[in-house]
Chain A
Amino acid sequence: MSHVNEPANEVETLRGGYSPTLAWLRKWLFTTDHKEVGLLYFWTSLWFVAIGGALAGLMRTQLAFPAPWDILSASAYNQAVSMHGLIMVLLFLSPLGAAFSNYFVPLQIGAKDVAYPRFNAFSYWMYLMGGIVMISGFFAPGGAAQAGWTNYAPLDSTLFSPGPGETLVGLGLLLLWGSLTMGGVNLIVTILTMRAPGMTWKKMPPFTWMTLFTQLLLLFSVPSIFVGTLALISDRVFGTVFFLNTAGSTILWENMWWFFGHPEVYVVVLPAFGAIAEVFMVFTGRPLYAKKALLISVGIILMPFSFSIYAHHMFLTGINALQREFIDLNTEINTLPSGLLVVCMALTAVGGTIKFKAPFTFAVAALVVFIIGGITGVFDSSVLLDQELRGTYQVVGHFHYIMVGAAEFGLMAAIYYWLPKWTGMMYSAAIAKLHFITSFVFFNMTFFPMFYLLEMPRRVYTYLASTSWGNINFIETLGAYGFIAAQVLLLYVLVQAFRHKGTPAPPNPWNSSGPEWTSDTKSYLDNYPAVYASPPSGQSAPHVMTAENSRPFTISVGVGLACIGLILWWPLLLIGTVLGVYGVYGWAKDDLNGAFTMPGEEKAGETWPFKQNPGETFGQWRMKVGTWLFLASDLVFFSAIAGLLIFVRLHLTDWPAVGSVFNIPMVTLNTLILVTSGLALMFALQDAKEGKGSEMTRWLVATLILGGSFLIISGFEWVDQFAKQFTFSSGMPGSTFYLLTGISGAHVFAGLLMLAYVIKKAISGKFTRENHFSIRLFSLFWMFVIAMVVILFPAIYLM
């Protein structure tokens, strides 16, 4: 029997004597265990795919016949197509990959959990809340967002999308970006620092490698769209004009969106390929072919190039011809690692003994379908061909072959492969076979005909009977119905397994050499009683520890309610804010009281090329690595802001003269006040190192006072500008000023909250000469913020 459904008395032992129902609720709402969080991601992503799939069914029903067939109106169809894209990419495929990453990466590297378990739970709840906020648009007046999943400007502005639906999507996306950033830092730090002794980079399984690449892609692509979404919300809620300006609004949005959007497609595909690699090894009995070459080409070619080729989505916008050709070339180069992926998988089987079980057949299907998707993508990489193919069903066919075909079939392989590990049960081979055949046949029936529709525009709710598209669309609709119906079989398999009906599976039914299979399924909270180098010889004694914390849930629900309340019903905004603040305060209190304990303090295993410093505990060192990683992401975030500013200034020559709007002496002084707060902090740090507790506390308080003064004076500056009619809507100068100072101010505010926590710790006498780690960590963040403000200062005020 697996750990997931423990007998009632064990649950009570671990959960402190609550009634079974309450214990079950507490377990799933408050868990921080990576395995349970992984399962939360899994079931939530399936719930979202049901919604996205229903929308697809509606769309295909509408497209089955030409005009005047209109069971869906144009507006309803546009809502369906926009939300379908957002849900499928961001709320289904990406989180489904995260489900496997969360569950298996610690098991594969021999770690007890991820680096920051509470942040892990927080990522999940923010994802769920973000999705709910986005979908709540369907219940809002005017309906859900209808500007496409790409939300192009100015269609996404209040002028052309007046209802709250688009704003709800923007707010939901903000929660999602936060979730992805936290998740990225978490998984990367886990992989960098928590590998067991013996788990070198070379030995690391391909699925963990692909997770690492995926999270790195996310960490550096999300900041761009984070800023874009903030600007969009700023437009829609506060009246700025970023995306209502003919001086480049459209192109500005497209750049910010696709800088994220293109790496995102690799984010979706790479975890699936990690799973495919694992499955190929196990079901052919052979090691992965050319693993090093494959990983190097993905890490060194695919990843960086994916950032430089995004403008192939913008070939028709009128960008420079030389740029287009450069991007055409780079896009072609980027197909090389993808091709290598296919070849390496195929050659892995050479010399092996292939067992055609469900995981393997799905993996092969994913590969085959990926080839078609990849080749059709090469068509779109051509600047010339794209000029006809852009905006047509050829593109729709191409990306569905990649997204549904490669990613989804790959992840289905993962589901069948790892189902015995999750549930201790084996699926019915007959049903799996039927599921495979129907899915594969109906998938191709739905999407292959699209390559013959290279003149039919995308996102149209109807088409004329005089075109020849009716028959093809009808076939596609039948295929879609079949594909959706086929997934009922998967649902049946899952429900049976999770309810422990059917054939139990042995601990390692595939005889896999993967490290995750050697962990004891029965041990609930600890993953490995021993290090990876020698497999565990017996079951570890269960020990009671805390792997639950309510704050991630509370904060996320608060934030989600606040977002919905902001747009739809203000009492929710109040409730949400109170909940969120309560949760944050509770989190800090937990830390001060040591209420949340990590699964035992361990020593570092394999950490090359990073080294733990002497005098730091393992937990402290992990916090430091994570902080540096987060700051790197924050740096990209500020670079995106700088990029926005540069773009705007280069397009808009009409700008107020320097000194005509701002009080230069005052803002200079204010900046110097913030810089001086850094001086005070450095003095505090110096005093901490010398063990001078009371001086240290005084300098910390001075930092707080100076930082707080900076914020207050900035607040007065805002009020003063408003009085002078320089508001959010004062053209681009106003928009950029308020966005930049708002974001900087938010960073300062967050820093002050952290500082308050640090001061509380100082006053409670928690710091010593040897151990004042919180101050050092905080100073990293504060110095970063000061550096950003110093660099932005001339950009905002002196130009």
Chain B
Amino acid sequence: MPGSAALTASVLQTPPPSAQLFANVYNWYYYLGIASGAITFALILFILYRYRSRAGKEIAADKTRENRETWKGPLVTFALMGIVLVAVGAQTFIALPTYQNPPKNPGSMDVAVTGQQFFWSFTYPNNKSSTILVVPVGNEVILNVTSKDVNHQFGIPDFRVKTDAIPGRHNIVWIQPNSVANYTIQCFELCGVGHATMITTLAVVPQATFETWYNSTGST
């Protein structure tokens, strides 16, 4: 493990691009969600206040359950909801290709990630294996995730990147680290008694440090 002296900046100096993309989309859902909720609450509160029972303002209870059929209200509701849903859905669909597909720039590195009870192991192109994901800053890393035993879920919260680790399947995610820092990698799918402790680190290091580490023998 590269010595801590090699780490300079604190975590989250600049959020990685995937996290920024996520935050943009999330904010759309968040603000429109709060707005929709607030409007609906206001409507309900207004109705509750306006039509509360007051002395002298009582109406005869409806004994016949007469029809109050209309399509106006439902269609207006659908239309308004539809506008919000289209707006947020569009954000997802627009950002999705960038989020999902690795740009495969020159210099991108493929790392195989294997989850098993209860640790993650990373295998590099030169067959070096490690239990910590060490990557050079600035380069795209494509992660090919699978499992050796049960379902796990490989997640790097700070990068807003996550995928299932399923035995027999290979799921691809990619990251673009842009700061030298340590990030948490954790398992997000119940996998047994060690699920809570299946934690490791994404160590983003300067290029030179990485070269040294990459070419040294033995796993870390």
Contacts and interface: CB of A to CB of B under 8 A. Distances in A.
Given A316-B163, A343-B77, A364-B48, A321 B100 contact: yes
A584 interface: no
Nearest to A361: B48
A160 B85 contact: no
B168 A246 contact: yes
Contacts of B161: 387-388
Given A378-B88, A385-B22, A460 B196 contact: yes
A317 B171 CA distance: 7
A250 B151 contact: yes
Interface stretch (B105-113, B129-137, B183-191, B212-220): B183-191
Contact of B89 (A286, A371, A382): A382
B86 to A, nearest CB: 8
Interface in A118-155: 146-148, 152-155
Contacts of B60: 285
A344 interface: yes
B92 A455 contact: no
B43 to A, nearest CB: 6
B37 A291 contact: no
Given A285-B60, A364-B44, A511-B61, A317 B93 contact: no
Nearest to B161: A387
A384 B22 contact: yes
A359 B47 CA distance: 17
A354 B52 contact: yes
A329 interface: yes
B193 A78 contact: yes
Interface string B96-140: 100110000000000000000100000000000000000000000
A464 B88 CA distance: 34
Given A351-B51, A354-B53, A513 B69 contact: no
B195 A375 contact: no
Contacts of A355: 53
Contact of B88 (A205, A287, A318, A382): A382
A349 B192 CA distance: 50
A191 interface: no
A368 interface: yes
Contact of A346 (B44, B70, B81, B199): B44
A281 interface: yes
B163 A349 contact: no
A347 B22 contact: no
Bin chain A's interface residue count: 35 or more
Contact of A382 (B25, B57, B149): B25
Contact of A349 (B47, B150, B162, B196): B47
Contacts of B163: 316, 318, 387
Contacts of B59: 285, 351-353
A340 B153 contact: no
A286 B150 CA distance: 55
B36 interface: yes
Given A203-B65, A285-B61, A459-B190, A383 B92 contact: yes
Contact of A290 (B73, B85, B150, B168): B73
A388 B190 contact: no
B64 A316 contact: no
Contacts of A336: 77-78, 81-82, 85
A368 B187 CA distance: 34
Interface residues of B, number: 78
A270 B197 CA distance: 39
Given A285-B60, A317-B169, A328-B89, A379 B196 contact: no
A292 to B, nearest CB: 5
Contacts of A281: 62, 65
A633 interface: no
Interface string B21-33: 1100110010001
Contacts of A586: none
B29 A385 contact: yes
B115 to A, nearest CB: 12
Contact of A317 (B26, B96, B166): B166
Contacts of A146: 192-193
Interface in A306-340: 316-318, 321, 325, 328-329, 332-333, 335-336, 339-340
Contacts of A390: 153, 162, 188
A513 B81 contact: no
Contact of B70 (A282, A290, A333, A379): A290
Nearest to B44: A346
A684 interface: no
B70 A461 contact: no
Contacts of B52: 353-354, 356
Contacts of B74: 290, 293-294, 297, 340, 343-344
B95 interface: yes
A339 B73 CA distance: 12
Given A293-B74, A382-B29, A387-B99, 19 more contacts: A74-B193, A160-B149, A251-B166, A286-B68, A290-B73, A291-B67, A293-B73, A294-B74, A316-B164, A325-B96, A344-B73, A347-B47, A348-B68, A351-B51, A353-B51, A354-B52, A384-B21, A458-B188, A461-B196
The 4 closest A-B pairs by CB, nearest first: A246-B168, A391-B188, A460-B196, A285-B61
10 contacts: A78-B195, A146-B193, A290-B73, A321-B100, A336-B77, A344-B74, A382-B25, A382-B92, A384-B96, A385-B22
Interface of B: 21-22, 25-26, 29, 33, 36-37, 40-41, 43-44, 47-48, 51-53, 57-71, 73-74, 77-78, 81-82, 85, 88-89, 92-93, 95-96, 99-100, 117, 149-151, 153, 155, 157, 160-164, 166-171, 186-197, 199
